[in-house]
Chains A and B, each alone.
Chain A
Amino acid sequence: MTGVPLSYIFRNLWVRKLTTALTAGGMALVVFVFAAVLMLASGLEKTLVETGSYDNVVVIRRSAQTEIQSGVAREQAALVAARGEIASAADGSAEVSKELLVLVVMPKRISNQPANVTIRGLSERGIALRPQVRITAGRMFRPGSAEVVAGSRVAKGFRGAGIGETLSLGGKTWTVVGTFDAAGSGFASELWGDVDQMMQAFRRSAYSSVIFRLADGADFEKLRGDLEDEQRLTVEAQRETLFYAKQSEMMSSFLSVLGTILSVIFSIGAIIGAMITMYAAVANRTNEIGTLRALGFRRRNILAAFLMESLLLSLLGGVLGLALASFLQFYTVSTMNWQTFSELAFTFSMNTRVVVEALLFALFMGLAGGFLPAIRAARLDIVEALRSV
């Protein structure tokens, strides 16, 4: 004996359109929120993962958490930059960049609200160390000049950061000569200029960090040990990938806590909605269930049919919610990263994992909501069921 035909299940959902729409709609909203949080987390992760390269090393002052807090004196930076493990470029120069990071307050284009923007001063090789960065308009800044290039998100989001515009920072006027695309990395939220110019303007005598590429990635552990043991240095070295992942630990744990709490609360609402719907479906169709049983369908067939109906309902809601959530990909979230205190822009990013998790979540709600009603349906007594009106 095969189960109850699928067409019967479909028809049941179709007959009570309003109820189906309301239940699926509620679930769609829940899935939408669930997917949105996942997309936000994966967007943040993507941005930070793509900011770092595995073979790049970031050296900052010991126990400083971020480049902003760090300070590496000139002599110390020179010692680090002279290390033999650093890769050489085609022209023989070492792939190393001494950098200065400062936060400046800039007004946003839309709201005029001030927000912290990171300005990074780089050595000449600094650009080559970030192969993902590409100038999209204008040109790169000239070393030794008061020129800067703006990451795409800064250029778009902040006043005075567009190409051809000028910025007045640190008592100096800077001309934006180009904008760059950072392939979704966090650099898109930065302004870049010449490190010596920046140190002068912002009256800094120490660098924030030294970034370099290893000739052989396997040297990292040894290099780290050496740097930490060196008496004249008070620095620590980290792989760039790990460094950037750590920069947003607070934000990503906040997102995951918020996401979990919301999902739990929301799913309770949606499961209850599904339960109400399915209990009503069973109550309304007691007579039909009796008939089906009399025709020879087994209890488990009935159980499967009702569970299927509930799962279908939640799947419908899940697909709808995901469809809604996919529009979020056009939206960029721009917020302050608590650890670095600077503006960080990232997008909602949908990937297979988000889709699968959201659909599984929807099906779980359908299963949880439909299980008890389906059991009730299956346990109905044939005679009693047939007798009911």
Chain B
Amino acid sequence: MGAFLFRLVLRNCLRHPLRTVLTVTGIIVAITAFGLLRTTVDAWYAGANASSASRLVVRNKNSLNFTLPLYYRDRIAQIEGVKSVSYADWFGGIYIVPKNFFPRFAVEPRSYFELYPEFVLSPDQMKAFLLDRRGAVIGRKTADKYGFKIGDQIPLIGDIFPGNWTFVVRGIYHGADSKTDESQMFMQWENLNETMKKLMPDHANEVGIFLVGLEHPEDAAMIAQQVDKTFANSRAETLTETEKAFQLSFVAMTEAILLVIQVVSFLIIVIIMAVMANTMAMTARERRGEYATLKAIGFNDRHVIALIAGESLLISLSAGALGTWLIYPVADWVGHRFGSIFPIFLVSAKTPWLAAAMALLIGVVAAVAPAWRAATLKVAEGFRGIG
């Protein structure tokens, strides 16, 4: 019986090949778009997800726009449970035109790379970087995009740090895993500070943030409190949080946009649900006579329901499978295309499951109304429309 019904379902699917092809195409587009939108949302959180639990970020309490004095470093280092302290400044700057964006940080190289083992740099490149004041290290992705090689010069127009700067590529780092951002550029903080001492003495010996490595990640909350207490009521009060909280605060600031993308990702499913429900409603209406016939020769309501639900599910699930499979190459393409906006654009493990669940939902919802109608159809009524 099951096999018979299945054959019937298959035949039904192929009765209006054009209609089936159109419906399948629609679902594929919707499911792929859904997966892509989810991946976009994930990309937003990529920074937070890649952050380590054993690192703290110390910034000025007023906002990131304010700096902290360099001598805080030693005070922080004295706090028990602190393994290492490094510091960094957002350099900003423009490479030829503002559109050529990749994050640029001025860092204290030795401690920074120690604190971030996910940025992998060969020892001799590291040595070359340390020896050259004007040296820079860039991520593999940025190097590929702009064709930078070791020894190349990168001219930058300073916006936060005024002036024209030239840096020499001394190293190209790659990420320890796929979640590492390979688009950044690092230069020596000391080089900047020398210039600031001459140009803007007020801003010399000031750093943007301190990065604190912990001996035991579980002490994070306590040590963060201690850091802030140390500098309470000083001229630059601090706000210390885990790297993840720090990253998430950026995400939170663009929450409105994220919310829109999330809503839209579900709207697209609702739209395709309407399309699919429409298809099934029409199909079932055209076959009222057949359902009446089936019932008249002894099939019961359950069989008719199975026939309609089976067709709906067969279409939605096979289209859903294709759509889910397509998410990967499309996300790959988007990731390359918009690499500067989203340094990490990876389909998460959850996304294909969610996409498949959506396809199932589409199939079920589309079958409900027509199946119910067919099941409650009186045989005599079903024949009425037939001449």
Contacts and interface: CB of A to CB of B under 8 A. Distances in A.
Contact of B268 (A114, A265, A284): A265
Interface stretch (B19-27, B49-57, B123-131, B186-194): B19-27
A136 interface: no
B251 to A, nearest CB: 10
Interface string B268-300: 101110110111011001100000000000000
B268 A343 contact: no
B175 interface: no
Contacts of B22: 272, 275-276, 279
B154 interface: no
Contact of B254 (A64, A277, A336): A336
A335 interface: yes
Contact of B271 (A234, A269, A334): A269
Given A26-B275, A279-B18, A335 B158 contact: no
Given A116-B253, A272-B23, A266 B271 contact: yes
Contacts of A65: 94, 98, 159
Contact of A103 (B63, B158, B255): B63
Interface of B: 16, 18-19, 22-23, 25-26, 29-30, 33, 61-66, 92, 94, 98, 157-160, 162, 200, 202, 235, 237, 239, 249-250, 252-257, 261, 264, 267-268, 270-272, 274-275, 277-279, 281-282, 285-286, 341, 369, 387
- Most interface-central of B23, B63, B202 (chain A CB within 10 A): B63
A389 B286 CA distance: 12
A268 B253 contact: no
A64 B351 CA distance: 41
A273 B159 contact: no
A-B pairs, 4 with minimum CB distance: A336-B253, A273-B275, A26-B274, A22-B278
A23 B274 contact: yes
A64 B254 CA distance: 23
A276 B279 contact: yes
Interface of A: 16, 18-19, 22-23, 25-26, 29-30, 32-33, 61-65, 68-69, 71, 102-105, 113-116, 169-171, 202-203, 205-206, 234, 254, 258, 262, 265-266, 268-270, 272-273, 275-277, 279-280, 283-284, 333-336, 338, 341, 343, 389
Nearest to A273: B275
Contacts of B92: 69
19 contacts: A18-B281, A22-B275, A22-B277, A26-B271, A63-B159, A65-B98, A68-B65, A116-B63, A254-B341, A265-B30, A266-B271, A268-B26, A269-B275, A270-B271, A276-B278, A277-B278, A279-B19, A283-B16, A341-B65
B256 A333 contact: yes
B343 to A, nearest CB: 15
A238 B266 CA distance: 43
A63 B271 contact: no
Given A69-B160, A272-B22, A276-B22, 15 more contacts: A18-B278, A22-B274, A29-B274, A69-B159, A103-B65, A104-B62, A105-B62, A113-B252, A234-B162, A269-B272, A277-B282, A284-B286, A336-B250, A338-B254, A341-B64
